[in-house]
Amino acid sequence: MITEYIRYRLDSSRAESLESAYATAAGVLRASPHCVDFDVARGEDDPERVVVRIRWDSPEGHLQGFRSAPEFAEFLRAVGPFVDAIEEMAHYRATDVSGAGRAQPPALFDWAGGAPAVQALCERFYRLVHDDAVLAPVFAGMRDDHPSRVAAWLGEVLGGPATYTEQHGGYPAMLRHHLGREITEQQRRRCVDLMQDAADDVGLPADPEFRAAFVGYLEWGTRLAAENSRTGATPPLEAPVPRWGWGVAPP
């Protein structure tokens, strides 16, 4: 991923207009398969400064993918009138220096108990799958390390380390595992049920906030996987691994 910062300096009235322009352009950003997330910040001490932060899947995704898309013209119509106020427009790559202060809510990964808890969850889930009439045929012949790979995916989704991206191919690899498999609604629903049973069995936190977020991801992820498994489905082939938090689904 790469982060683009666009720093503006403009008078207060134009700053408010710029906010409105990005609110209009936000729909284009949300629809782009290359945009991870974005926000617009207004200077607290200097209200004539506005900083726009947009995270892209890659520099190429931004410069070639997004800017060559037909929708880019709509984006430019909204924010183009403020080009003269730009002081900086550049890409920044994250370093290894990062962290969270005590005021930050913990990632779902940490709240669940970290890598050992997620690994135990996946191992228990696949033991349940092995004895389940609906899902056992679906996973027949799976590799011995399959639970560990799924634990790496789930851990990354819940805010843990990017192990699946770095070691197992990221989103494109996970997508390939589902293409053409024709997952049924019964199979999808059974996956959700057994994963919740496994969470109970291994003692994942039972507080309503965590379970609501956890089940929210299970519903969102399995429904997306089922849609992508349909014959003729055309999901985006490149995207980052989604990051799931305590609130709504990622854009």
Say what the pLDDT of residue 102 is: 74
pTM (predicted TM-score): 0.61
The answer to whether 135 and 197 have CB atoms below 8 angstroms apart is no
The answer to whether 71 and 28 have CB atoms below 8 angstroms apart is yes
The dihedral built from the CA positions of residue 246, 32, 29 and 53, taken in this order, carries a sign that is: positive
Say what the pLDDT of residue 101 is: 76
**What are the chain's domains?**
2-92 (3.30.70.100), 108-228 (1.10.490.10)
Nearest by Cα to 185 from 227, 218, 215, 129: 227
Residue 246 neighbours by CB distance under 10 Å: 15
Say what the pLDDT of residue 251 is: 55
Report d(CA 135, CA 21) in Å as an integer: 49
Tell me the pLDDT of the chain (251 aa) as tens digits.
Answer: 999 999 999 998 899 999 999 999 999 999 999 999 999 999 999 999 999 999 999 999 999 999 999 999 999 999 999 999 999 999 999 898 988 777 778 999 999 999 999 999 999 999 999 999 999 999 998 899 999 999 999 999 999 999 999 999 999 999 998 999 999 999 999 999 999 999 999 999 999 999 999 999 999 999 999 999 999 999 998 999 999 999 765 65
